């Protein structure tokens, strides 16, 4: 099976490159070969494959507030163009989306069919991508996830490790709750889904995030403890840490439909964290 992957340097794309299963060959398109700011070029790059995974995106949440138009091209128009080509050729198209399409209200886990209500530009751009993919009418999988981390790129785990080694204490938001998700687990889920869809399985909109759900501050405590850092974490409110983009207070995702459709349970982020720490040289 031949899988074409949009993305090369992002967290999930790098894990997709490292975790190609037996029976699958994967080809990766970086920005030089397919720039998501040019949707037509992305569409034209699709060839010689049995399934397409879009693992590239605009992920700078705060910068999207200042340039929503550009973020919407990358996160909205580009995947819609890819999905259109895939629909015309009968190819499964797999696309990563985000908990930011929801407003974060309440304390329940959002089901895939819950009404979207993004709080900011990044969430609106991701929702635009979802709607464009669905409108293409092909066999597609929209996989919403949250709080992605790995040993690569910029993410919360690496930020906490850097600051935790420099400072005796850190103030971390404690009123935002969600599921930290190892990029490696997302990569495995995408390959599993791509193979199943190539064999006739349906896609749809599903959720896939790590378990158990946790507040950012408690996640930070786990990072420090498992990395052997003495940095103390102080709980603060979101109001005490203002950012250009509003973050959802509730990023819990109901992942039961993905488990039912593809047989994969939520990954334990603690096990994923230990593997990342080992890769980064910490004795987890």
Question: What is the pLDDT confidence band of residue 11, given thresholds at 50, 70 and 90?
Answer: very high
Domain ranges of the chain: 2-154+179-210+254-267
Residues facing 268 on adjacent strands:
211
Check: pTM over 0.95? Answer yes or no: yes
* pLDDT of amino acid 109: 98
* pLDDT of amino acid 126: 98
Q: Is residue 50 pLDDT above 90, yes or no?
A: yes
Closest CA to 212 of 146, 143, 259, 278: 146
* Catalytic residue IDs: 122
Q: What percentage of the chain exceeds 70 in pLDDT? A: 99
Residues facing 52 on adjacent strands:
4, 93
Question: What is the pLDDT confidence band of residue 222, given thresholds at 50, 70 and 90?
Answer: very high
3-state secondary structure of 172: strand
List, for residues 146-199, the tens digit of each pLDDT value: 999 999 999 999 999 999 999 999 999 999 999 999 999 999 999 999 999 999
CB atoms within 10 A of CB 166: 9
Query: In this structure, which topology does domain 2-154+179-210+254-267 adopt according to CATH?
Result: Rossmann fold (3.40.50)
Q: Is residue 284 pLDDT above 60, yes or no?
A: no
Q: Is residue 22 packed enough to be buried (19+ CB in 10 Å), middle (13-18) or exposed (0-12)?
A: exposed
Q: Is residue 283 pLDDT above 90, yes or no?
A: no
Q: What is the mean pLDDT of residues 127-143?
A: 98
Closest CA to 64 of 121, 10, 118, 117: 121
What is the residue-averaged pLDDT of the chain? Answer: 97
Pairing type for strands 140-145 and 250-251 reads unpaired
Q: What is the mean pLDDT of residues 33-61?
A: 96
* pLDDT of amino acid 75: 98
CB atoms within 10 A of CB 84: 20
Question: What is the pLDDT confidence band of residue 208, given thresholds at 50, 70 and 90?
Answer: very high
Q: What is the mean pLDDT of residues 18-28?
A: 97
DSSP assignment of 31-57 equals TTT--TT-HHHHHHT--S-SEEEE---
Question: What is the pLDDT confidence band of residue 246, given thresholds at 50, 70 and 90?
Answer: very high
* pLDDT of amino acid 179: 98
Q: Is residue 281 pLDDT above 80, yes or no?
A: yes
């Amino acid at each position: 099976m031949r899988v074409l992957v949009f993305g090369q340097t992002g967290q999930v794309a790098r894990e997709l490159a490292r975790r190609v299963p037996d029976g699958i060959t994967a080809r990766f398109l970086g920005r030089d070969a397919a720039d998501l700011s040019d949707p037509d070029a992305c569409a034209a790059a699709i060839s010689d494959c049995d399934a397409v995974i879009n693992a590239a995106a605009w992920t700078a949440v705060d910068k999207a507030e200042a340039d929503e138009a550009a973020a919407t091209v990358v996160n909205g128009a580009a995947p819609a163009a890819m999905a259109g080509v895939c629909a015309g050729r009968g190819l499964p198209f797999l696309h990563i989306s985000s908990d930011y399409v929801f407003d974060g209200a309440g304390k329940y886990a959002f089901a895939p069919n819950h009404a979207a209500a993004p709080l900011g530009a990044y969430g609106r751009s991701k929702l635009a991508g979802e709607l464009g993919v669905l409108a293409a009418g092909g066999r597609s999988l929209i996989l919403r996830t949250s709080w992605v981390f790995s040993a690569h790129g910029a993410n919360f785990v690496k930020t906490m490790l850097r600051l935790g080694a420099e400072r005796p204490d850190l103030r971390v938001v404690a009123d935002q709750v969600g599921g930290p998700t190892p990029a490696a687990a997302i990569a495995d889920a995408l390959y599993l889904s791509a193979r199943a869809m190539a064999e006739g399985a349906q896609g749809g909109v599903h959720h896939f995030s790590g378990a158990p759900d946790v507040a950012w501050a408690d996640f930070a405590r786990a990072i420090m403890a498992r990395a052997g850092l003495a940095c103390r974490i102080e709980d603060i409110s979101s109001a005490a840490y203002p950012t250009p983009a509003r973050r959802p207070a509730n990023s819990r995702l109901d992942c039961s439909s993905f488990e039912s459709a593809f047989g994969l349970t939520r990954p334990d982020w603690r096990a994923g964290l230990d593997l990342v720490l080992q890769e980064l040289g910490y004795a987890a």
